[in-house]
């Protein structure tokens, strides 16, 4: 599902670590922003480190968006995100 042409997605910038140390804090913020908007764009350019807990959080957000018929886009992957997504074959 794509946002309508007049619908601008809300933006969320994640900076620093997207690791087990911050997942709970980021989960609350990410899911709250997703609940507030029909479309959310998550900018990952500032992510300096990501681990499997961070990937699980992003996958959870995608499942939640799909279940509630919302649009979620992960954009501007940092080198750390691109490397792990490549290793895991995540697009």
Per-residue pLDDT of the chain (91 residues), as tens digits, is 444 455 688 899 999 999 999 999 999 999 999 999 899 999 999 999 999 999 999 999 999 999 999 999 989 988 998 888 878 887 7
- Give the pLDDT score at 39: 92
Residue 3 pLDDT: 47
Are 21 and 52 a contacting pair, CB within 8 Å?
no
10-88 to CATH, choices 1.10.1040.10, 3.40.50.970, 3.40.50.1370, 3.30.750.24: 3.30.750.24
Say how many Å lie between the first and final Cα of the chain, rounded.
Answer: 17
Distance between CA atoms of residues 15 and 28, nearest Å: 15
pLDDT of residue 6: 52
Q: Where are the domains of the chain?
A: 10-88
């Amino acid at each position: 599902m794509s946002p309508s042409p007049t619908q601008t997605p809300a933006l969320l910038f994640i900076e620093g670590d997207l690791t087990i140390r911050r997942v709970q804090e980021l989960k609350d913020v990410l899911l709250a922003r997703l609940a507030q908007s029909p479309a959310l764009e998550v900018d990952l350019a500032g992510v300096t480190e990501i681990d499997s807990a961070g990937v699980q959080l992003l996958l959870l957000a995608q499942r939640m968006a799909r279940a509630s018929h919302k649009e979620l886009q992960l954009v501007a992957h940092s080198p750390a995100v691109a490397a792990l997504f490549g290793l895991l074959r995540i697009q």
